[in-house]
Amino acid sequence: MKSKYLVSVIVLLTSLPALAKQHHNQHHKNEWQTIPVASQMEIIDASGQAKTITPSCAFDTVPNPLDGTPLDNSFQFYFKQGKSKNVLVYFNGGGSCWNDATCVASLALEAVEGDRPTYNPSILQENSPVDAGGVFDDSNRRNPFKDWSKVFIPYCTGDLHAGSSEVVYTDVDGSITGFPGAPVPVKHKGFDNFLAVQDWMKSHFKERRWHKNAINKMLVTGSSAGGYGATLNFPYLQAAFPRAKAMLFADASASIVSEGFVDDVFRSGSPWNFENTLPTIFRSGLGTYTAADLNVDLFQRLSYRYPRSRFAQYTTEFDGVQVLFNKVMDQIDQGNTNPFTWALQPSDYLYFADWNARMTASFGQIADTTRNYQYYIGEGSIHTILTDDFATEAQPHPFYDERSAQGVRFTSWLNYFVNARWFYPISLAYEGQ
Q: What digits encode the pLDDT tens for the residues 102-147?
A: 999 999 998 888 889 999 999 998 999 999 999 999 999 999 999 9
CA distance 310 to 271: 31
- The pTM of the full predicted model, rounded to 2 decimals, is 0.92
Residue 307 falls inside a structural domain: yes
Residue 2 falls inside a structural domain: no
Q: Which of 21, 18, 16, 116 is nearest to 66 (CA)?
A: 16
DSSP helix/strand/coil, 20: helix
Contacts of 389 (CB under 8 A, 6+ apart): 1, 2, 126, 132, 223
Residue 37 falls inside a structural domain: yes
Backbone torsions φ then ψ of 151, nearest 5 degrees:
-115, 120
CA distance 341 to 175: 15
Residue 425 falls inside a structural domain: yes
Task: Give the residues of the chain that fall short of pLDDT 50.
Answer: 1-29
Residue 156 falls inside a structural domain: yes
Amino acid identity at 292? A
State the CB neighbour count (10 A cutoff) for residue 139. 6
Contacts of 48 (CB under 8 A, 6+ apart): none
Q: Into how many domains does the chain fold?
A: 1
Residue 4 falls inside a structural domain: no
Res 432: pLDDT: 79
Residue 1 falls inside a structural domain: no
Domain housing 188: 9-429
Integer angstrom CA distances of residue 305 from 283, 298, 311, 322: 14, 11, 12, 28
